[in-house]
Amino acid sequence: MSTAAAVETRALEKEFGPRVAVHSLDLTINRGEVFGLLGPNGSGKTTTIRMLCGLMAPTGGSASVVGYDVASQSERVRERIGYMSQRYGLYDDLTVAENLRFYATVYGLHGRARTERLAEHASQLGLTERWNQLAGTLSGGWKQRLALACATAHTPEMLFLDEPTAGVDPAARREFWRSIYVLAGRGTTILVTTHYMDEAERCQRLAFLSRGKLIGIGTTAEITAQFGQPTIEDVFIELQRRDEGAIAGTIAGAAT
């Protein structure tokens, strides 16, 4: 494991035609951090994560993840990261065990090492009791837990979670965050996007994105102080209001 930052971006940029989704992003995430990426819908969170995971090529700037450049060393990056999307990416026709085995194999685990790793992993994440159930028949909370297990079967150094708790009940969310702290306790760096402000407050540091730009970074206390708001939720709502104001301004400007 190198000593470089877990994530480091320099003027990272993504344009979709005339629309700029991510605008000159400079972001550093330290090793072992649980880092929250916040912002209204369409602020560029998912695009940022997709660029960092190598799912999307940046149109400008550079980014390194766990010490490797995402453009030139994408294979190295992919071996060392885990990614869990909003859609979970599970095979509904396979059982819990088969999903885990499949993803572990794709990450190069075989034979006895795989069996042992998965047994330990499943018991840590509490999946053993559903071992032979079809993934398609799992409830939302269990699917989420399985998706997390699949994304971390190869003990990645860094884990990307894109709105992992959208659409699951509060108990499952609490359980999920317990698992995240288990992973963080082992030294895994975690980048998570969320719309739930209670979850944002569980992160060690936060970054706020608005219309593709980084507009605030720091601990919860630092951010609330920076925006002069009592809570993170107020910061969020204030930002959304500004965004809408800016859009309304552009429309008004275009009309005159």
Partner 1 sequence: MRRDRLTLIMMTGLPAVQLVLFGYAIQTDVRHLPTVVLDESRTSDSRRLIATIGNTGNFRIVGDVADRHALRNEILAARAAAGLVIPADYARDLRAGRTATAQMIVDAADPQASGAAMSGAQLAAAALSTQIMTEQAGAAPPIEMRVRPWFNPAQRSAIFIVPGVIGVLLTITLTLITSTAIVRERERGTLEQLVVTPIGKTSLMLGKLIPFVLVGYVQMSVVLGLGVLIFKVPIVGSLPMLYAMAIPFMVASLGVGLLISTVAKSQAQAMQLSFFFMLPNILLSGYIFPRVAMPDPAQWIGLALPLTYFLKVLRGILLKGVSLADVWEPTVTLVGIAMLLIAISVRRFRKTIE
- Residue linked to tokens 């659409």: 167
Measured CA to CA, the distance from residue 167 to residue 153 in angstroms comes to: 23
Q: How far is CA 127 from the centre of its chain?
A: 22
Measured CA to CA, the distance from residue 7 to residue 213 in angstroms comes to: 17
7-46 footprint of partner 1 as x/- string (CB under 8 A)? ----------------------------------------
| DSSP designation for 201 | T
197-236 footprint of partner 1 as x/- string (CB under 8 A)? ----------------------------------------
Min dist. Cβ of residue 103 to partner 1 (A) = 7
Binding of partner 1 at residue 53 (CB under 8 A)? yes
Give the type of residue at 169: D
Measured CA to CA, the distance from residue 85 to residue 83 in angstroms comes to: 6
Torsion angles phi and psi, residue 125, rounded to 5? -95, 5
Binding of partner 1 at residue 142 (CB under 8 A)? no
Measured CA to CA, the distance from residue 121 to residue 156 in angstroms comes to: 13
The piece of 16-24, 54-62, 173-181, 212-220 that touches partner 1 (CB under 8 A) is: 54-62
Q: What is the DSSP string of 96-128?
A: HHHHHHHHHHHTT--HHHHHHHHHHHHHHTT-G
Residues within window 122-141 making contact with partner 1, judged by CB under 8 A = 134
Pick from 83, 142, 176, 177: which binds partner 1 (CB under 8 A)?
Answer: 83
Compare residues 121 and 211 and give the one whose CB is closer to partner 1.
121
Pick from 46, 47, 64, 85: which binds partner 1 (CB under 8 A)?
Answer: 85
Compare residues 155 and 226 and give the one whose CB is closer to partner 1.
155
CA distances from 47 to 159, 212, 213 (A): 16, 9, 12
88-127 footprint of partner 1 as x/- string (CB under 8 A)? xxxxxxx--------x--xxx-------------------
Compare residues 91 and 227 and give the one whose CB is closer to partner 1.
91
Contact by Cβ (8 Å): 207, 214: yes
Compare residues 84 and 223 and give the one whose CB is closer to partner 1.
84
Write out the residues near partner 1 by the rule CB under 8 A. Answer: 53-57, 75, 78-79, 81, 83, 85-94, 103, 106-108, 134, 150-151
